[in-house]
């Protein structure tokens, strides 16, 4: 994470963000579900998840969204402001998988001082999440 915020004028369309690699375990899935008050059993009850045809518990949407925002704000810096996020979930993420989040700058809006970052998060099964995050940054000198 950077404590120095990037400036809007330093960013180039097409710029790739550094990959975020997150080793998913049971604790991170359960903690993310509980922190977001998502008590759906498939996020914490292995036997119930398996009874529903899953191999194990699965990461919830809120945890995925949190990792997507972390990916962008770690790159942008502490003063970045998330203005909008749009994600679409794909394959589930289970304990023992590694979620790799990648992205690049798709657009800049000078009038708003915003940057649109397209994001993809993949695991061993394919795309877990695709989407975009719009952040506001200081313009810079």
Q: Tell me, what CATH number does 16's domain have?
A: 3.10.129.10
* Count of domains for the chain: 1
- Interatomic CA distance for residues 103 and 68, integer angstroms: 10
- Interatomic CA distance for residues 133 and 86, integer angstroms: 7
Tell whether 61 is covered by a domain.
Answer: yes
Cβ atoms of 36 and 60 within 8 Å: the answer is: yes
Dig out the tokens for 30 from the structure.
């359960």
pTM of the model: 0.93
Tell whether 49 is covered by a domain.
Answer: yes
Name the residue range of residue 132's domain. Answer: 8-136
Tell whether 3 is covered by a domain.
Answer: no
β-strand partners of 100:
21, 122
- What are the pLDDT tens digits along the chain (141 aa)? 557 899 999 999 999 999 999 999 999 999 999 999 999 999 999 999 999 999 999 999 999 999 999 999 999 999 999 999 999 999 999 999 999 999 999 999 999 999 999 999 999 999 999 999 999 999 976
């Amino acid at each position: 994470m950077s404590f120095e915020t990037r400036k809007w004028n330093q960013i180039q369309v097409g710029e790739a963000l550094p990959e975020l690699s997150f080793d998913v375990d049971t604790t991170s899935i359960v903690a993310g579900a509980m922190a977001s008050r998502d008590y759906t059993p498939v996020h914490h009850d292995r036997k119930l998840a398996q009874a529903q045809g899953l191999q194990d518990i699965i990461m919830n949407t809120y945890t995925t969204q949190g990792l997507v925002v972390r990916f962008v704000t770690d790159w942008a810096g502490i003063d970045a402001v998330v203005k909008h996020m749009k994600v679409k979930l794909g394959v589930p993420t289970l304990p023992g998988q590694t979620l790799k989040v990648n992205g690049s700058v798709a657009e800049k809006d000078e009038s708003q001082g915003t940057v649109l970052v397209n994001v993809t998060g993949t695991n061993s099964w394919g795309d877990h999440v695709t989407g975009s995050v719009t952040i506001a940054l200081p313009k810079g000198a």
